Each structure stands twice: as structure tokens, then as C-alpha cells.
Amino acid sequence: MADAKITRKPLMRFVFYTVFRYLFRLAGLLLFRYHCIGRHHLPKSGGAIICANHQSHLDPPLVGMAPSRHCIYLARKTLFSNPLFGFVISMLDAIPLNRDGMGIEGIKATLRKLKSGEAVVMFPEGTRTKTGQLQTLKSGFITLARRSKVPLVPCGFVGAYDCLPRGGKLPQFERIRCVYGPPIPAEQVIEMSDDALIELLTVRMRECISRAEISRAS
């Protein structure tokens, strides 16, 4: 199993992340009437991969701002070239990815984070949806989960596509709901075939999305 200890962050990074999380929470509440259900399903410590659907550029903060623990994000390497934005995502511990995928460096960096007890946010669809619906999941998360021996935590949200769909420039202020589901244990991840695991995670993510839709409609 991955180390259950929570990695101690440098004070500057800890403060920076905490401030940004609360700023995003405030903005989410005021602008999008954001609400999250099931945050307790994310383990309080130890490595984990949060697998969420991908609706818009708003997704990373929407997924990571609800939990009380620090979450690690994956970001395209080109984003780090912007002085201001690159500084921000570096302080948030983002892992740089190549344009065509994770690459060896990205995989190694992600594995190090997971094995040191970090929670990493991933979007298994690989790209933002064009319709708002969940797309077919890609298998890249499987190797990371098996090698790091961490659970998969399904997450689904609705509303982000209505706020900022693919190709949109300015966000619309619609309600957003996010749901975390029960994790798939590391032992089960190791035992299942790739196809079976993708099918199970798809079902779990759809369940989260359905709960989010019900919450948003109420």
C-alpha cells in the first residue's frame, strides 16, 4: 500500500494552496452556487487518484476545492511558460504534461506524488467533452493506480459544461453540483482486468453524475 502519511508541504506552498482553495470556494458559492456531496469518500490521508468527468476549463478547481486535503493537478507543459499562470500552478504543485500525453517524466512525477501519499486529480476521458456527456474512458490511469497501489475515487459533476463549454470564452453563472463516490480499493484495482476496471469506474462515475443532476434539479 502507498504510504498513509500526509506529505508535509513547505509553509509557503501550504499557505498559497490554502488561500487559493478558500478563494475558489467563495467564488464557487457566490457565482455558481457550488455544492459538493460525498467529500468523506476521499481518504483523509494516503495516495489516491480522483477520477472525474471533464466538462470545462473550470474542472480542476471544481474537483479539488471541496476536499479539506491538498490535491495535485496535471497541467500541459506549455501552461508553465506563462510567467504568472506558470508561477501559480507551480505553487499549486501541478505536474507538467507533454502535449501528446503524460510521457515518461509525467508518469514518474505522478507516481512519486502518489507513493508519497498525495491525492492526484485525473480526467480519464483525456479531453473535454463536446456534448456535456461522459465520454469513453482512456486506460492511462490504470497503470498509475496499479504501480502506486492506491484507490480510485470516482467523482462526477454537472453544470460546468453549461457555464463554460468547450470553445466558450466567458463563463455563464449556472449552478454546479459535484459528487464524490465510494473509492475502488487498491486491491480490487490490482485484481481486475483493464476492461472490467474501466467499466466499473465508468459505472461509478455515472452514478456520481446522476446524483449531481438530481441535486442540481432540486
* Domain CATH number, residue 113: 3.40.1130.10
- 6 is a domain residue: no
Amino acid at 60: P
Q: What pTM was computed for the model? A: 0.91
Please give the Cα distance from 22 to 13 (Å, whole number). 14
Please give the Cα distance from 57 to 46 (Å, whole number). 27
Give the range of the structural domain holding residue 87, as residue numbers without chain letter: 11-217
Per the structure, how many domains does the chain have? 1
- 67 is a domain residue: yes
Q: Which of 132, 124, 135 is nearest to 161 (CA)?
A: 132
pLDDT truncated to tens, each residue of the chain (218 aa)? 444 444 567 888 889 999 999 999 999 999 999 999 999 999 999 999 999 999 999 999 999 898 989 999 988 888 888 889 889 888 888 898 876 666 788 889 999 999 999 999 999 998 999 999 999 999 989 999 999 999 999 999 999 999 999 988 888 999 999 999 999 999 999 999 999 999 999 999 999 999 999 999 98
